Structure formats: structure tokens, C-alpha cells
Structure 1
Amino acid sequence: MTSVVTAGGISVTIRGPVVEESEAVLDRLVSDGVPGSLASRNAKLWGPDAAPLAARRLGWLGLPETSRSLAARLAGPAAEARAAGLDRIVLAGAGGSAVAAEAICRTAGAALTVLDTTDPHEVSRVLAAGLDRTLVVVTGESLEAESLRRIFGRAFSEAGLSGADLARRFVVVAEAGSAMERAAHEVGHHFVQSEPDVDGRFGALGARALVPAALAGVDVNALLDEASRLAGALRQPYDNPALALGAVLGSSALSRRDKLVIADHGSGLAGFAAWAEQLVAGSLGKQGKGLLPVPVEDVASPGFELTDELRRVILGRRPDEPGPGREAGVSVTGPLGAQFLLWEYAAAVAARVIGVDPFDEPDVRDSRESTAALLRSEEGTAPTVVSRPPVLVSGPVEVHAPEELLKGAGTLTDAMETLLEAVPEHGYLAVLAYLDRSGEAGAADLRSLLAGRGAKLRKRPAPVTFGWGPRHLHATGQYHKGGPRNGAFLQITGAVTADVPVPGRPYTLGELQLAQAFGDLRVLRSLGRPAVRLHLRDRSEGLAHLTEALA
């Protein structure tokens, strides 16, 4: 059985048992008048408790039109940047908007350096290359963005810039009346107001994502045109691909198929799966419920095999999969702007189906507060982070874990296999790497290695996800702490050889990064999650050693 729903340049194809499973949910959504209510921004769709916050978070529905004023608002900063030869755009931010900006620029082939990290190696490399041509876009008021703003300010000053020349090296995107706006006006930074009724998770078409993309040379109006073509279909009860996808996501979360495996197969949307991951995990993973997104490398990767716990989504054309049951799944095609709106709408619909508030982040603050507690110290002193001795040392890799979890494992391979076996029934393993996302990109290969080894160890292989820290704190972090309690975690940290002080703060980036890692690990363990931390005494050698142990 196959159902194809097409409108506004988007096509959602649903095959096999998924059609019947989602049909009852779709009929209920239609009978409840959800398409019209959501298009009319009815804040009560997610219940009375969620209504006050939802009333302040539904502006994303109008972004395909309201964001068109950005081009005019950016005319001045863009002209100044061109005249000064500032053709290297660096985004200092965090959350869904930063991931969206990266996907926009990668898909368009535009150069944008995204720094949503506290890794000193990654930041040092960006500081060392082309600072004379750099314009920094600061979005939001996250700890990462504020630290990077201070670091770049000092770097520009040390390069001889001062006064207006230094101030104009920054474009600040924040809400009106915020501390960021006041600071920007005080020192003369360019300021662009962001939408007060849009958060980062649902803000792919908002100012915090589009301003850096536009300054990098992307035609953002073309992106908005793509979204506008779909927007007209969102009120429709039928022939509404976003509603159909929302019914699929919602019905999957209610069933035992609560792992959403996402593979790209020729979509041309570079980086989109990472954005979809943060949206789905953050909007649905709470109150012990949710849908775990698992982006994999491609349709042939370990972890994409069909099991009774997985719902598979393919971005792009669907490969030929003969055989009974193999056709079960969903494929989505369409341009990037429309895809952003499609998935935001579908996530909001799925949240109603499973009974959660898509805009709340009740568990994200736990890691933030845990990090803040580690950073609190007497003025002028570094944060207090106490590391216990490792339970196992294998070459350049230290293994930190409760002894009862490792069960006497004597080698790194044994330790990793013990962790895979500790994944709860119907659970998953998340790899969280607090490393250099560019210089140590090969760490992402650990996902497929662990998935492949887990398939050999367990009768029911556990899905394996991979996230960069601290990016994942703003993405899947909500699901890891608020979703179903069936996750196990492998955190990876690395030695710092060249640290970066944070001006005006009593800590360096390396200390901040470690505080974020320890803070998150402390929360996960307090929730009873199996968690192992690997510390690489030498990053390059450590990754090679770990890869060899899993190969």
C-alpha cells in the first residue's frame, strides 16, 4: 500500500503498514480541525497548560512572509562588509538556528563558518585564519555565543582594530529589549532584531538563521519563496503533506516504532538531517515520551536495517527495496525552504498527538544549571571540576565509569562491548563527543562502528546516535533527559594542548568545555542512565586507538 501526498513542491510518500498506522491518527486530526486551528495559531492545541508559552512561540508560521524584510534591514551591514573586504562570515551562536544556517549555506554552496562550540582547538583554528577578512554574526544569548563574542573582540583588538572599526566587525541578532541589544548599541555593533515569538528550534526561516546566511551570499528570498509555496496547503485537511508527515511521526511515537532513522538519498539538502534531528528530539522528547531521531550516513549504513522498533525516513528518492515488509517507511522530497516549514509543522502536529508541549524545554535547563554550578567560583579562579581516577587505561584512552557498569572489563574493546550490552531493552546508545568538529571530524565514524559491533553482540541491535558537544545540549539533550528512560551514553572528552582564555571570565574555553561535559554527565548519571566517559590523553592517537578497538 502506498500513499503519496504532494503540495507546494513537497512530496511525502508513505509505504507499507505505515499508511494504515497513520491513517487513524490523520482522520482524528482532521475531525478535530487541527489544520485550520494551527494555521490560525490556536495556542490551545497542546492543552491549557501549554497555551501561555505556545501563544508566544507560533510566529514561525508567518516567517515565509515576515522574514522578507530582512534583505532591506541587512543592506547597510552588507554594503559596509563588502566595502571593507569582509567576505569571511563566522556565526557565533547555538541551537537550532545555527544548525539551520549551516544547512542553508551548505546546500547553497555558500561559505559560512559556524562556531556553536567551546572547543579551544576549533576556535583557535578559526581565529588563526583570515581574521582580517572576518565579520562575526552573534545570535542569541547562549553561553557559547557570549564567550565567542568576547574572544573575537579581544582578537580584533590585538590585531590593531579599535573604535568604530572594531565595533563594525560584529552583527548582533537578538530580541528587542534584550541585554544583547543594549550591549550592541552601547559599543556600536550592527543590530538586527529577531522575532520575539519564535524560538531557535522552530526558527529555521527566522532572523537568527537567515541573517548569517544572507551575509554569506545566500538568496534567502528564494528560500522563503519555497516555503511560501507550501504555506498555502497547511490549512487543508487533505492534500497536506505536513499534516500527513505529522500523523506519521505522532503514530510512530505512540507505537513501539519510536526510533526515527533518517538517511539522505540524493536530496541535495546538505546538513538537513542534523537540523531535523534537533527539531524532532527537542520538540517531542519530554515527559517520558518522544521520538528518537537517528541520522545515519546513508541507506547502506549500519543501523538503517528495518526492525520492529524503527520508522525509516529517506530524504530524497527512495531506493528499490524488494521483499515483504521492506517497503515500510516514508520518503520526503522537496526544496530546502519548504522542507523547513514541512518538518516544523509536522513536529507541532506530532506533539499534539502524543500529548506534549513542543515549545517547552523542561530538561535542557538541568545541564545548563549543572554547568553553571561548576563554573561558580571565587572571582579570578578557575571552575572546580574534580576528575576521579580512570577505572581503565588503554594506551592514550582513559575509561571513566562506575566499576559495576564495566563489570571488570580489561580492555577498551571489552569496555565498549559491555556498554553496548548495557543498553536497555528497546533503548539506544548516544555518543557525545566534546571534540573539534572540524579537525576531528572522523570521530563521527564511531557511530557506524558501534552500530555494526552492536548488531553482532545483540539479538536486537540498539540504534546508535552521534552528537557533538556542546551542540547536542541544545538539540538531542532534551530527549536524552526528558524522553523515555532507555538511553545509554558514551561521552568523549580530549586533552587540550592550546587553550583560549575567555576575556572577563575566570575560565578558559577548555575549562568551560569540560564543565559542560561534566555537568551533562552528572545529570545523566543522576537519572540512572548508564554512562561511560572516555578521555583522550592525545586526541589524534586516542581516536585512532578507539577506532582500532571497534574495527
Structure 2
Amino acid sequence: MSFEIHVSGHVKDVVDETLPGLVDSLVASGLTAGDPELWGPEATDEASRRLGWVNAVGVSRPLVPEIEALRAELAGRGITRIVLAGMGGSSLAPEVITATARLPLVILDSTAPSQVLAAIDGDSETGGLAETVLVVSSKSGSTVETDSARRAFEAAWRDLGIDPAEHIVVVTDPGSPLDVSAREAGYRVFNADPNVGGRYSALTAFGLVPSGLAGVDVGELLDEADATLLEVAIDDPRNPALVLAAAIAGTAGGAPRRDKLGLVTDGTHIEGLPDWIEQLIAESTGKNGTGILPVVLVPLSPEVDVQTPDDMQIVRLVDDAEHPRLLEKHPGEILVSGSLGAQFIVWEFATAIAGRMLGINPFDQPDVESAKEAARGLLNARPEVGAAAFSVDGIDVRVSDISLTASNTLAGVFDALWARLGPTGYVSIQAYVDRNEMPQLAGLREMIAADSRRPTTFGWGPRFLHSTGQYHKGGPAEGVFLQIIGPGEVDLEIPGRPFTFGQLIAAQAAGDAAVLMSHGRPVVTLTLTDAQADVLAIYEAAQ
């Protein structure tokens, strides 16, 4: 299965008006050739160091036998459990790849202490720490979440008298600080192409090594991608990447661009692809006050099943984009189908082309660093947490603007926050909790979307900081923000660091809120004061 895309209604008008210009500008062949000038002079330097993903299929081929050999070696040593410590694209791509293959891979992209502890402890089904290998994925090794996880695992193995070098595999750029330190420590190292940014790294060592060690046939994944490369390389109106780019970033008839992109999975064999697409598009396009906001939905989400907002375009991921029943049932949507390898290729090409259409550099992420700096500042200063505006049902309420709490009720705070939404606004829910212990919080998205009547995103903190975090601060100033922070009853030391995981995740939440507020974004923070805090009260208030 290659890649199929079908458009109809308004979005077909957009494609028909936009596509000829993309074909005439030779953008597809230029991108395939690695032309760094496609995005203008200000982006040329960055683009010249970020286009390696265009050749990832060929560059990654030699990795396949190496990965397969290491997988066999680990199995021979009784390794039954693979844990991946990585953030952003380096964790989201392997999560999609392994979930689609129905193979277990523990994703550790959180600093919630209990989630880190669970990743270290393992379980009776997949194995404990002695049966675990940790894949540490980081371009430089400086990513605080990944570095902290590595330190915690190393200490846990040493406590058991186990040499960490027997249980750690590193994926990093050649010559990076992590590359040097890992080789000195005797860890197995896979080097990735340094000319690829994290969110475009699905078909590089960052996507393939953890997936292959988990049992995925990564050679087949590369074959799927390879089968699509010719289609996306040609300057032709049938090029699926050009059609997709036109559909998500174009306009027609002088109408405003639909800058919200609803991603719906409907019967496809691929698991979790919208989460990967979300980080790719949001971090690539959300800057200079513009962008495309991806919103991960289900078929019964209010934005799909009740009424789709005028500024939202629905993309439906299916197994047959040309099926007559689907064409009749979902007019005006973008219908997409294809193998996973083809999806990776087409979405990467389309996103880079969409960046060109929007006049921005799709390869930088200037506002991601601002939240990191704020978190570091808070870790260094350790300021006292300000008093809550009020508390109810074990939940402390803090706000960016005291007028939001005039009602002294959760429901009133929510109503006041939704009142700040403009006609093109959106709600962002950010849950800094252990997502394994509190998965029910994800259901809050549907309630708040119905209550606010606007597109609503949901992200687990701090992982979303490496994806949609860029859009929230660098994109249009349209969002209102709801933070939910866990009770912090469990904590864990980070060896060699003057702060704990609990202090780190608290600083990340507070730092992000501070940056959002400095950009004039309204923020409400709900802190669960203990494990018995009534999460149902949040649900009731959102109804």
C-alpha cells in the first residue's frame, strides 16, 4: 500500500487553486535535491543543516543488520523488555511504529517521579530491571528529561550489582557530548545523521533502533517509505505531498485559511499516528504568529460529530481513502490512507512545503528553548509557590488573572477562561501527571471541547513541550491554557543533580506557565493536593 489522498468540497477548491503554483515553483524536486534556499534567506543556514531526512531511507539501510544482530544478542542474554528514554519525535515515532506492529515498547518521555519509577521497576509480564535494556535517544545528550532518566537507571542497575554498560544503548549524533561520554562508559552507540532534526527523524536511527530492538521489521518500514519517494519527488499535480501541503496550508477564493487541523483515526491499521503528526506540524509551523494547530480527535469528538468549527479542516486517517462509502459519508474532509512508511515520508515532505507556503522556517523551534530556560531558572532559584486563589475538593486553583476566579468555583473559572476565547481561539489542556496512573484525564478533552465549543488540544507534560509547546508560544495568540499538576506525593532523586524528578516536573510546569503568561496567554493551573483529590470535580465543572 503506497499513499492515497482524496479531497472534496471546500478543501478541493483550496487544492485546485494552490496546487498549480506549487508544481510550477519546482518545490518538490527542489526539496528532494536538498535545496536549503526554498524557505528564504533567513532560513537558509538552518535548512542547510536540517535536510538529511530527505535521504534517510538510503542512509538508514546499513543500520538494519546492526539492529537485528543486537536484537538477537539481547534476546540471547534474556533481555525481554525495551525502555525508550527520549522526547519529541525521538519517542513519538517509535511509539507509533511499535504500536502499529503490536509490539511492546515502554516509552519514558516524562519526569513524573512515579512514571520513572514504574519504568525502572518493570512488571511480571515483560520483565524487571535485570531483563531491561534502556535506549537513550538524544541528539546531544543535553535534553534534561532523557539525561535524568539515564542517570536514574544507571543508579538502579548499580544498586543491583549490574553493569549499566550491559543494559544501555545510545542513539545520538556523532561527536556529540553524549556520543563521547557513552563510548567512554562502554555503552553500545548508534550514530544518527546529524543533519536531521528530531521531529523529522522517524526513518533515522532515532526511529529505527528502539523499534527494531522491540521486534519491528524496520527493513520493511524502509521499503514502505522507499516505495513513496519517487511520488513525492516529482513536480506533478499527482504528487501526494504537494496535494497534502496545499490542502493543509492553502486558501481559496480569498477565504481565511483554516488553521486548525483535526486529525481523526477511523479504522486504520496504524496506531497513534495523529500524535506523531501533531508534533511534526505544530513544532514546524507554530512561529512568527502563524502556523497550523493540529488537534487529535476521535470520530465522536464534538469537533467532528457535533459541529466542525469554520476554521478547522478535518483529516481522516483510514485504510482506503478512495472507498466509495467513505467518500460519500465524509464530504469536505481530507481522506488519507497508506502504509506507515509512506505516511512518514508524505507528512514530512508536506509539512516542510507547508512551512514554505506560510513563509516560516519549518526547521527551527525558537520558543521551545524559552520554556527550558524558565524551568532552569526556577530550579536554580527555587522560589516559594504562590498562594492559591482558592481551593476546592483537594484542588488548588491558581490563575494568571485574578478576575478569572471571581466565582470561587471551578465551573465559574472554566466559564471565565472560555470567555477569553475569540472566534478563532482554542483551548489547550496540559496534564503534568503520571499518565499511566491517571489516563482518565485524557477524557477531559472531549468534555472541555463540548463546554467551550472550540477546538481543544490535550498534552501530557512535559512531553508536549517538545511538540505543541512551540505552537502555543510562537503561533497565533489565540489559546487559553489549563494546566493540571499531579499531587507530587512520590519523588525520586536524580543522581548527580541538585534537584529531584518532582522538583524538575514542577519547575517545567511553572516555567511553561510563566512563559505563556509573558506572551499574554491566559493560564489556569489546577494542582491536585493529594492522591484523594477529587478529579471528578474537574469533570463536573467542565460539563
Q: Secondary structure at the match of 1:489?
A: strand
Q: Once the 2 structures are TM-superposed, how far is the Cα of residue 194 of structure 1 from its aligned partner? A: 1.0
Q: 1:344 to 1:389 in 2, by over 3 A?
A: same
Corresponding residue for 1:132? Answer: 130
Q: 1:344 to 1:539 in 2, by over 3 A?
A: farther
Q: Secondary structure at the match of 1:373?
A: helix
Aligned AA (2:300): A
CA distance in 2 between counterparts of 1:483 and 1:262 reads: 19
Q: Secondary structure at the match of 1:376?
A: helix
Corresponding residue for 1:422? Answer: 420
Q: Of 304, 311, 314, which aligns to 1:312? A: 314
Question: What pairs with 1:384-403 in structure 2 (closer than 5 Å)?
Answer: 384-403=382-401
Corresponding residue for 1:515? Answer: 507
Equivalent pair of 1:303/1:448 in contact (CA under 8 Å):
no
Q: 1:252 to 1:100 in 2, by over 3 A?
A: farther
Equivalent pair of 2:71/2:215 in contact (CA under 8 Å):
no
Q: Secondary structure at the match of 1:226?
A: helix
Corresponding residue for 2:241? Answer: 242
Corresponding residue for 2:177? Answer: 179
1:261-295 Cα shifts (integer Å, max 9, x gaps): 11100112111100000011011110001010001
Q: Once the 2 structures are TM-superposed, how far is the Cα of residue 79 of structure 1 from its aligned partner? A: 3.3
1:233-266 Cα shifts (integer Å, max 9, x gaps): 1122222111100111121599341110111001
Question: What pairs with 1:332-347 in structure 2 (closer than 5 Å)?
Answer: 332-347=336-351
Q: Secondary structure at the match of 2:484?
A: strand
Equivalent pair of 1:100/1:209 in contact (CA under 8 Å):
yes
Corresponding residue for 2:34? Answer: 41
Corresponding residue for 1:109? Answer: 102
Q: 1:402 to 1:47 in 2, by over 3 A?
A: closer
In percent, how many aligned pairs have the same letter?
Answer: 39
What TM-score, normalized to structure 2? 0.94
Corresponding residue for 1:350? Answer: 354
CA distance in 1 between counterparts of 2:160 and 2:395 reads: 38
Q: Once the 2 structures are TM-superposed, how far is the Cα of residue 35 of structure 1 from its aligned partner? A: 1.4
Corresponding residue for 2:199? Answer: 201
1:12-68 Cα shifts (integer Å, max 9, x gaps): 000111111122221111111111111111110000111111111111111122211
Q: Secondary structure at the match of 2:493?
A: coil
Equivalent pair of 1:405/1:419 in contact (CA under 8 Å):
no
Q: Secondary structure at the match of 2:11?
A: helix
Q: Once the 2 structures are TM-superposed, how far is the Cα of residue 452 of structure 1 from its aligned partner? A: 1.3
Equivalent pair of 1:424/1:488 in contact (CA under 8 Å):
no
301-310 or 360-369, larger mean C-alpha shift: 301-310
1:87-123 Cα shifts (integer Å, max 9, x gaps): 1000011111210100000000111000011000111
Q: Secondary structure at the match of 1:311?
A: strand
Corresponding residue for 2:75? Answer: 82
The reply on whether 1:279 has 2:277 as its aligned counterpart is no
Corresponding residue for 1:3? Answer: none
Question: What pairs with 1:55-66 in structure 2 (closer than 5 Å)?
Answer: 55-66=48-59
The alignment covers a number of residue pairs equal to 526
Equivalent pair of 1:385/1:518 in contact (CA under 8 Å):
no
CA distance in 1 between counterparts of 2:102 and 2:294 reads: 26
Corresponding residue for 2:303? Answer: 303
Corresponding residue for 2:220? Answer: 222
Equivalent pair of 2:462/2:508 in contact (CA under 8 Å):
yes
Q: 1:405 to 1:205 in 2, by over 3 A?
A: farther
Question: What pairs with 1:244-263 in structure 2 (closer than 5 Å)?
Answer: 244-251=243-250, 255-263=256-264
CA distance in 1 between counterparts of 2:476 and 2:168 reads: 41
Corresponding residue for 2:454? Answer: 462
Q: Once the 2 structures are TM-superposed, how far is the Cα of residue 128 of structure 1 from its aligned partner? A: 2.0
Q: Of 466, 471, 477, which aligns to 1:474? A: 466
CA distance in 2 between counterparts of 1:207 and 1:361 reads: 21
Q: Once the 2 structures are TM-superposed, how far is the Cα of residue 392 of structure 1 from its aligned partner? A: 1.8
Q: Of 368, 373, 380, which aligns to 2:377? A: 373
Equivalent pair of 2:88/2:463 in contact (CA under 8 Å):
yes
Question: What pairs with 1:259-270 in structure 2 (closer than 5 Å)?
Answer: 259-270=260-271
CA distance in 2 between counterparts of 1:212 and 1:248 reads: 33
Equivalent pair of 2:14/2:246 in contact (CA under 8 Å):
no
What TM-score, normalized to structure 1? 0.93
Aligned AA (1:394): V
152-161 or 61-70, larger mean C-alpha shift: 61-70
CA distance in 2 between counterparts of 1:368 and 1:175 reads: 21
CA distance in 2 between counterparts of 1:255 and 1:41 reads: 31
Q: Once the 2 structures are TM-superposed, how far is the Cα of residue 76 of structure 1 from its aligned partner? A: 4.8
Q: Secondary structure at the match of 2:111?
A: coil
The reply on whether 1:408 has 2:409 as its aligned counterpart is no
CA distance in 2 between counterparts of 1:98 and 1:146 reads: 14
Equivalent pair of 1:396/1:545 in contact (CA under 8 Å):
no
Q: Once the 2 structures are TM-superposed, how far is the Cα of residue 226 of structure 1 from its aligned partner? A: 0.6
Q: Once the 2 structures are TM-superposed, how far is the Cα of residue 206 of structure 1 from its aligned partner? A: 0.9
Equivalent pair of 2:280/2:467 in contact (CA under 8 Å):
yes
Q: Of 517, 520, 524, which aligns to 1:528? A: 520
252-261 or 496-505, larger mean C-alpha shift: 252-261
Equivalent pair of 2:68/2:213 in contact (CA under 8 Å):
no
Aligned AA (2:243): A
Equivalent pair of 2:36/2:44 in contact (CA under 8 Å):
yes
Q: Secondary structure at the match of 1:446?
A: helix
Aligned AA (2:513): L
Q: Secondary structure at the match of 1:223?
A: helix
Q: Secondary structure at the match of 1:136?
A: strand
Corresponding residue for 1:31? Answer: 24
Question: What pairs with 1:67-78 in structure 2 (closer than 5 Å)?
Answer: 67-78=60-71
Corresponding residue for 1:437? Answer: 435
Q: Secondary structure at the match of 1:462?
A: coil
Equivalent pair of 1:405/1:530 in contact (CA under 8 Å):
no
CA RMSD of aligned residues (A): 1.7
540-549 or 417-426, larger mean C-alpha shift: 540-549
Q: Secondary structure at the match of 1:210?
A: helix
Corresponding residue for 1:151? Answer: 152
Equivalent pair of 1:9/1:335 in contact (CA under 8 Å):
yes
Q: Once the 2 structures are TM-superposed, how far is the Cα of residue 75 of structure 1 from its aligned partner? A: 4.5
Equivalent pair of 2:18/2:251 in contact (CA under 8 Å):
no
14-23 or 218-227, larger mean C-alpha shift: 14-23
CA distance in 2 between counterparts of 1:102 and 1:134 reads: 17
1:150-198 Cα shifts (integer Å, max 9, x gaps): 0000000111213xxx212100111111110111111100011011111
CA distance in 1 between counterparts of 2:204 and 2:400 reads: 44
Q: Secondary structure at the match of 1:293?
A: strand
The reply on whether 1:99 has 2:92 as its aligned counterpart is yes
Aligned AA (1:241): P
Q: Secondary structure at the match of 1:541?
A: coil
Q: Once the 2 structures are TM-superposed, how far is the Cα of residue 312 of structure 1 from its aligned partner? A: 0.6
Q: 1:321 to 1:24 in 2, by over 3 A?
A: closer
Q: Once the 2 structures are TM-superposed, how far is the Cα of residue 71 of structure 1 from its aligned partner? A: 1.8
CA distance in 2 between counterparts of 1:400 and 1:18 reads: 41
Q: Secondary structure at the match of 2:199?
A: coil
1:365-398 Cα shifts (integer Å, max 9, x gaps): 1101111111225xxxxxx042111112111111
Q: Secondary structure at the match of 2:181?
A: helix
Name stretches of at least 5 consecutive residues in structure 2 with no aligned partner. 123-127
CA distance in 2 between counterparts of 1:293 and 1:225 reads: 28
CA distance in 2 between counterparts of 1:91 and 1:232 reads: 32
Q: Once the 2 structures are TM-superposed, how far is the Cα of residue 499 of structure 1 from its aligned partner? A: 0.6
Aligned AA (2:387): P
Equivalent pair of 2:287/2:471 in contact (CA under 8 Å):
yes
Q: 1:491 to 1:252 in 2, by over 3 A?
A: farther
